[in-house]
Each structure stands twice: as structure tokens, then as C-alpha cells.
């Protein structure tokens, strides 16, 4: 299988270009998929496609970041991606089970390896699915 590549989803469709032979084709995508494997109709190469449904750019970031809750509790989390409007991260299984992070909660982040990455912004938790959490930048 080839490398994983990001594809923008517009109207539940992606424009796929085979990395092996360059063949192009548009595919319909189910609304609940985040990744899909596509086999090229021309050369038969299989590609993993990561689906991006956001209208603005989402940068893949990986690293340990400190999560600070409203109560002042601090937890080390794994940052996955960051966009203009929010962040996606994974919390350790113990924190996920204890439901320390809940919908609507305001959180802050401290990043030791790049202090300007998240700045002093506050975020509101929008989505919690197991260990995966999504937070949106709070607009003042």
C-alpha cells in the first residue's frame, strides 16, 4: 500500500489522483468516513486517503502538550492536528474514562516545544469520542 495522502471532501466527493500513474477520478464518499482505501482503476495501486471535510487548512501536528482545565488541573495530551479554528487531540485512557474533559468545557494548552503554536488562546470542547477530543477556539 502506498503513502497516506489528505484529500479535501466537497459535497461528499473527492478528486483522487493516483500517486503511481497519475490517473484522475472523482469518487463519492459516505458522510461518516474519515479514511478510505482506494484502488486505482488504471494501474491497480492501492492508496490510503485521509478525508478532510473542513473548509480551512488543517495542519497535522504531533507532540505532547499540556492541557489545562477550568479547575486548573493539568494533563499531558497528544496533539494530533491544528487549524485556524481549533485543535484535535488524544487524552490518556484514564482521563477519558474519568470524563475529566466534557462537552462545552473551556480549556487552555501550553506547548513547551513551540510556545507560539497555541498561544494564550482558550478553547471550548466541541466533540469527545473515546480518547479523541476536538476543541474550537473561543471567540471573545
pLDDT tens figures, 36-53: 999 999 999 999 998 888
Residues 22 and 66 in one domain: no
Residues 41 and 101 in one domain: no
Nearest CA to 118 among 95, 78, 86?
86
Residues 41 and 73 in one domain: no
> pLDDT for 59-73, tens place per residue?
677 789 999 998 889
* Number of CB atoms found within 10 A of residue 33's CB: 12
CATH code at position 62: 2.40.10.220
Averages of pLDDT over each 10 residues, the chain, 140 residues: 79 91 92 90 91 73 87 90 86 84 90 76 90 86
Residues 72 and 44 in one domain: no
Last residue within a domain, chosen from 34, 52, 70: 52
Please state whether the predicted TM-score (pTM) of the whole model is above 0.85: no
Domain that holds residue 96: 58-137
Amino acid at each position: 500500500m502506498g503513502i497516506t495522502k489528505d484529500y479535501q471532501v466537497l459535497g461528499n466527493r473527492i478528486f483522487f489522483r493516483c500517486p503511481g500513474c497519475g490517473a484522475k477520478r472523482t469518487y463519492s464518499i459516505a458522510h461518516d468516513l474519515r479514511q478510505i482505501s482506494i484502488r486505482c482503476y488504471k494501474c491497480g495501486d492501492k492508496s490510503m486517503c485521509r478525508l478532510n471535510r473542513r473548509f480551512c487548512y488543517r495542519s497535522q501536528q504531533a507532540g505532547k502538550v499540556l492541557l489545562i482545565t477550568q479547575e486548573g488541573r493539568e494533563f499531558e495530551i497528544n496533539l494530533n492536528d491544528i487549524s485556524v479554528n481549533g485543535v484535535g487531540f488524544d487524552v490518556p485512557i484514564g482521563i477519558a474514562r474519568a470524563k475529566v474533559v466534557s462537552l462545552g468545557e473551556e480549556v487552555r494548552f501550553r506547548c513547551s516545544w513551540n510556545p507560539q503554536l497555541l498561544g494564550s488562546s482558550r478553547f471550548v470542547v466541541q466533540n469527545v469520542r473515546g480518547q479523541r477530543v476536538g476543541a474550537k477556539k473561543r471567540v471573545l
